[in-house]
Structure 1
């Protein structure tokens, strides 16, 4: 199944929303939108596409109503989520964690286009496995540009078959947080200032 969501935030107006498939979006406050599952997704073979546009002068808080749980499908264990984000205003993007359950393999790609005057906080939280599980795999890629120039190229793998996989001890959870234009943020992770402005915080451990 393919799920598509488009959210456009414009100054002085409620966010405009379009959705189809197993994922919907609901406005919960004047500048806040929550993503809501309308079907069990992502299963193996599913693809989720979310496009977010925050126009100049607009503000948007984007959340999710619950954690995302990925599961293997009948034919394949792989599922995909693609985020396309364009920010000229202010965006606070902080969905609930993604739990990569059983032997599922989930791939997340985020492509961010920032205007120089844009402001963003983008947090991603991943947990490999429910209680007693560790066979899942997750790969996350973030490409961030500012006014067309590269700001960040970032990729993380977790779980079975990842570069950090180890039978004795390996991280099964991570939190990645991008801030712009702030060069420092109070987070639980290690903060790295970026050459083009903003900062990236990363944390890894066993459980969120």
Structure 2
């Protein structure tokens, strides 16, 4: 199934944010749930192998947008020929975008590919999180491949790919985490406020120009998410929520 979501946030009178474009079709619907926030709502179970979702987010200068989802996504294998499912998020940001979706659970034999590509203007602010769990309770893990690309004014800030699960080159038991979480924060160009490297148990925060990226991995998702939160500067995460 092909899913397309388009959201445009634009500054309105009195400093408000207006959403002149909110479109969705396929497996997702969009609901406005606050002055500058929307939730993605699944209209079908999945994604299944072969499904493809493209989410386009545009936040104009002076606008802010928080994007959430109402429930975890369960990536399931295709019935016939093994095919990956895909979710591609394309963000063009001149204002402030806070992107925090619920976790993705990848069932056994499924392969889910997630991409976030963000093009930031000089004064833009981006906070984006990713949470992944391989396998449901009592089953073997699925496979997840996540790629994040962030550019500011045409210059690369971050480009990374993480592969987890059977078939991924770096996933070799006993080094085989089933849970993964990451938060990236990027503000105006310049030195990061928290430029030093910080570490926790199977977690690390690395500096970026004007921000940071924190990742953690382990066996239980709630512990991994807690490790990311513990290393992520709380003031920066207030964002547009």
Same fold (TM over 0.5): yes
The CA deviation string for residues 47-85 of structure 1, in whole angstroms up to 9 with x for no partner, is: 010000110000111000000110011223411111101
Aligned length: 207
2:152 aligned residue: 146
Structure 1 partner of 2:51:
46
TM-score (norm. length: structure 2):
0.81
Change (3 A) 1:183 1:77: farther
Q: Which one of the candidate residues 126, 135, 144 is aligned to 1:129?
A: 135
Contact 1:134–1:159 (CA under 8 A) maintained in structure 2: no
Distance in 2 (CA, whole Å) between partners of 1:124 and 1:164 is 19
Q: For 1:1-208, list aligned pairs within 5 A.
A: 1-12=1-12, 13-15=17-19, 16-75=21-80, 76-181=82-187, 183-184=193-194, 189-194=203-208, 196-208=209-221
Q: Looking at secondary structure, tell me which structure has more helix per residue.
A: 2
Identify the range of structure 1 (154-163 vs 141-150) with the bigger mean alpha-carbon deviation: 154-163
| Structure-2 change in CA distance of 1:177 and 1:160 (3 Å) | same
Shift of 1:165: 2.3
Which is greater in Rg? 2
> Closer, same or farther in 2 for the Cα pair 1:30/1:187, shift >3 Å?
farther
RMSD: 1.8
Show structure 1 runs of 4+ deviating over 4 A.
185-188
Q: Calculate the TM-score normalised by the size of structure 1.
A: 0.93
What are the ranges of 5 or more consecutive residues in structure 1 without an aligned counterpart?
none
Residue 164 of structure 1 and its aligned partner are, at CA, apart by 3.1
Q: How big is the shift at 1:160? A: 1.1
- Does the C-alpha gap of structure 1 residues 88 and 100 become closer, same or farther in structure 2, counting only changes over 3 Å? same
1:169 is displaced (CA, Å) by 4.5
Secondary structure of the structure 1 residue equivalent to 2:6:
strand
Inter-partner Cα distance in structure 2 for 1:187 and 1:88: 31
